[in-house]
Amino acid sequence: MAISAIAGAAASLPTVPTLPATGQIGWLGDVGTAGSAGTATGTVAAGAAGAVSGTQSFGQTLVKALDGLQGTQTRADGLAVQAATGDLTNVHDYMIAATEASLATELTVAVRNKAVEAFNQIMNMGV
Amino acid sequence: MLFPTFQTAGSGLGLFRTWMDAVSDNMANLDTVRPTSEAAFQARFVVANAIGNGQEAMTGGPAGAQVTGISFGDANGRLMHDPSNPLADADGMVRFPDIDMGEQMTQLMIAQRGYQANLAVIDRAKDAYQQALSIGR
């Protein structure tokens, strides 16, 4: 829930320049449906008007990544429930899912920090 | 796939855990006696195969190994002379499973080492990813 809220907020940052949609940009892949992306995409598309078709705005990329992160976390949560109820057959399955979720979170936070840094640098530019 | 190394090493963990399960099954049935009219307890062997065609490391997809089946050992077992056994036939023979404890012990050690090796891979991969995240920090 909290992540969806951040996704919505992030998507409404049209000031950040658009990035080309290479395969590597959507680093979390598309896990789950982009529920929050529906409304958010409109805002982003408006901000990134004139972008070449086939490119993806930074906001869209971020929303996609956050949805992927949500999927990773949900998977780890499901396995944690299985562990608690005794349904977990492979201990390593949960540990791997938890490590993946933790790394994906770190990655998303790192990207977010970089984006905020870039935004602040632009905002502090003397005109 | 975000972290394909984890999927690959995880498949190895699953395989070696299955192998350990099979060995423990064999160990538990080392002394399972059957009458000569029935088949002896058959040793369990894990059949494994590689996932994919070897191009996964290049494309970033998950590779690894998987259990494709279980095959069984000799159903004849070892015929032993044990007239005092209630399952013995008229000649005093019973069927023991054809399982060698030393061999099972060795298999258990190999499986355990394989599991540890895959855990080490996951550990190193996690360290590598974390160090990559610290670039420019």
pLDDT in tens, B56-88: 777 777 789 999 999 999 999 999 999 999 999
Closest by Cα among B28, B68, B63 to B46 = B68
- B14 and A92 in contact by Cβ < 8 A? yes
Chain A residue closest in CA terms to B9: A96
Token code pair at residue B111 = 């499986």
Percent of chain B with pLDDT over 90: 82
Mean pLDDT of chain A: 71
Chain A residue closest in CA terms to B121: A96
Pair A13, A116: CB distance under 8 Å:
no
A92-120 exposure pattern, b = at least 16 Cβ within 10 A, e = fewer:
bbbbbbbbbbebbeebbebbeeebeeeee
pLDDT band at A42 (very low <50, low <70, confident <90, very high): very low
A127 vs chain B: nearest CA distance in angstroms? 28
Helix (H, G, I), strand (E, B) or coil at A67: helix
Q: What are phi and psi of B65, to 5 degrees?
A: -130, 155
- B14 and A106 in contact by Cβ < 8 A? no
Residues A39, B46: Cα–Cα separation, whole Å: 51
Name the pTM for this structure.
0.72
Chain B residue closest in CA terms to A111: B133
Owner of token pair 């951040």: A6
Q: Which of A28, A69, A92 to mutate to test the interface with B (most CBs of B within 10 A)?
A: A92
pLDDT at A38: 39
Paired with B49 in beta bridges are: B66
Q: Crossing angle, helix B4-28 and helix A91-123, to 10 degrees? A: 170
